[in-house]
Structure 1
């Protein structure tokens, strides 16, 4: 399971399809002292559209995280193989790459609200498929692989449309706060989801987690349905893109990739995240680690899966300071290096609670990186390209962990989980250091003068 309407207030509601263009929310007063420490809630107060989207996504993320853990546990229960669990990530990788890029082009061409609504309906239906199969006692690995692949298709279409809406719902100065709140959405879901999923699976079976997910996803559907129309803005294409100069035409995936090829700072936001998610992402090893290292069960695996989200949630709650940071590139490099270090130390521990602590530290570091990567992507990308760049973003942030699942599962099965986790953390730190040395201008990126 993670970025053109009127931003209405509680006294001025806009019905779905009533308007094409948003009015930027009023610029808020300077933050009070308390908000310099805690998360800034200004976007939730100034935009009812954003508020509904945030609440719906928070509820649905919890259900999706429950399903993700339940699928991994079910595959491991059927096969007894970490490699088979890693294949769950591989079966979602290709659809994410293909449809993530295509979904971004769709979001730049069609009404983003409709794209988000229809793809969310597909995710909702697939949750019912998993629930029905589990209730019928139809436990087949191929079905699980097939459903997660189709979920990846729907998610790849939904993500770019949903994320590219936010800069049109909120003014630029509220984007860091909105991204911190979005991180709370994801981490709240991935904190509660695995814990609840582990308990539900352990007590009532896989079907209970799938049914709760299907019900919870209605919140996201409602939020999408309430949004006004969000058609593409009329105007010129960015410089360097075919068709620039004011001519309106269908958005092209290749145009988005060509645009990205000329923007080194945006490329670095993707490269640094890949270092963390491909090399140092031990999620596929949690079922085996829970049993072999800690003598635990599904609830232990759920605790391990939830620990990074707990750290990220705490980072989001105490995110008020992030609005004062201007060197976003430097912050990203440091936080990715901190993630890799924490993962490597986790691989050296054999005490459950110490391991949970380092996983939580890793999650906090990842949250900081995500906030600044999202803000850079939104601030330095013109609206005509936001869908396509968000499509690339979805491929990286969703496809990277799945490739990391496959790599960790393969190395863990071939050598040992400890070697896979420690080696991956060290590789992450080395790789992000080499990238920073190669593109030093990224370290000097200043949010007051955003250049891609």
Structure 2
């Protein structure tokens, strides 16, 4: 909305204000073909990514029968993903971003084809394939995807106008919500219906859409001279971050939320012995978060009229903490046993409390997406173009490391106490810490998108 007063010489002349929207604004897709191609390609290929992510775990468990072997997929790839996030950001700032995306996409595609080949070998030569090539290929795929994500995020302000960046980020939230809702469910159906080789092949086919979206981008060379990837380039990014209190605070508040508000590691225990329902309950609660993300993005029309990003981010994360604590309260109520015995079978689930818990987890997904839209927009509009890649790389380290720290905190606290305490205590701690941070960091609290300052 325009902040300029009416012309003094024409006091009766009406000012035409932009129409307020309720639903997501599709203008970035309609008016900017490069963004539309990239968005469609990313949405379709992202479904394939989640298909493979889930199917790989099922494949490894089918071969080994060992849950820890499945857990190693994420553990082995964590450190390379962090390095790839930092390195990928430097590549995005130093080279043509379209070229970086093309190369990283080809590497990811090759890794998927390698997984298809291993699945085809399974049983064809009288034995099961070794596990270590799967770890190598999934790590290679994760590294390539991390570099692609850091680069793709930094591209948005180059292919849409600055005033549309928040709306573009809202559309990206819709894509992510669809990926996270459709991909895991599709993986289970495909594995049961057509087997592992064809399931992985589906990802390879869907990945084609993402590659075509990347190829359709214009050339995106650096707008200014930037240090080549290496320690000096990384130090430049860190030095800039030290002088960027608003961007720095956007990272800090996300770390607080993800470290203290991650109940997902507790869901198997909750499904087995607290709410009942076993793996079905885990699936319902996991999907609930994605539904919240999707609905927020769908009704994101008002984001174009919000300018106080710091306040919006702070309130959204505090609401995230409240929903997390409420989820924990539902689990505490179920743990009392007042509602009768439960079990891992679906017919022994506490359905009313499961639905209530799902509503609160949907609330965490919705509030987290509000925060993500404004944090991403702040990062992309307040930072200069020559720093966006590196800052996106640091951002990926934050969003990759924060949830894993959160899993350790929640899991450790649950072992020492009870399964409902981590979300209750963590949610309340989030509210208190964010309130203090907003009070202490006045520039973040007063951040105005009409005059973006890092």
Please, what TM-score do these two structures have when normalized by structure 1? 0.82
Partner of 2:307: 326
Q: CA deviation at 1:152?
A: 2.8
Q: Partner of 1:275: helix, strand, or coil? A: helix
Larger radius of gyration: 2
CA distance in 1 between partners of 2:423 and 2:129 (Å): 30
CA distance in 1 between partners of 2:391 and 2:434 (Å): 21
1:308-354 deviation digits (Å, cap 9, x = unpaired): 11111110110011111111011111111222221232233342221
CA distance in 1 between partners of 2:183 and 2:375 (Å): 25
Q: CA deviation at 1:451?
A: 1.0
CA distance in 1 between partners of 2:71 and 2:409 (Å): 7
Partner of 1:214: 204
CA distance in 2 between partners of 1:369 and 1:312 (Å): 11
Structure 1 unaligned runs (5+)?
Answer: 1-28, 236-247
1:119-175 deviation digits (Å, cap 9, x = unpaired): 122222333334444451647765555444323321221122111111010111111
Which deviates further from its counterpart, 282-291 or 368-377? 282-291
Matched, 1:173 2:151: no
Partner of 2:228: 250
1:383-406 deviation digits (Å, cap 9, x = unpaired): 111111111112112332233344
Partner of 1:20: none
Alignment check: 8 A CA contact 1:279 1:404 kept: yes
Alignment check: 8 A CA contact 1:90 1:402 kept: no
1:123 is aligned, of 103, 108, 127, to 108
2:27 is aligned, of 13, 25, 42, to 42
1:49-101 deviation digits (Å, cap 9, x = unpaired): 100000011111222223333445566775665x7766544433312222211
CA distance in 1 between partners of 2:416 and 2:186 (Å): 31
Partner of 1:303: 284
Matched, 1:228 2:228: no
Partner of 1:380: 382
Matched, 1:286 2:277: no
CA distance in 2 between partners of 1:284 and 1:98 (Å): 24
Alignment check: 8 A CA contact 1:194 1:302 kept: no
CA shift in 2, pair 1:88/1:409, >3 Å: farther
Alignment check: 8 A CA contact 1:85 1:409 kept: no
CA distance in 2 between partners of 1:336 and 1:140 (Å): 44
Partner of 2:368: 366
1:128-139 superposed matches below 5 A: 128-135=113-120, 136=122, 138=128
Which deviates further from its counterpart, 152-161 or 262-271? 152-161
CA distance in 2 between partners of 1:47 and 1:202 (Å): 40
CA distance in 2 between partners of 1:411 and 1:314 (Å): 32
Matched, 1:95 2:95: no
Alignment check: 8 A CA contact 1:89 1:401 kept: no
Q: Partner of 2:315: helix, strand, or coil? A: helix
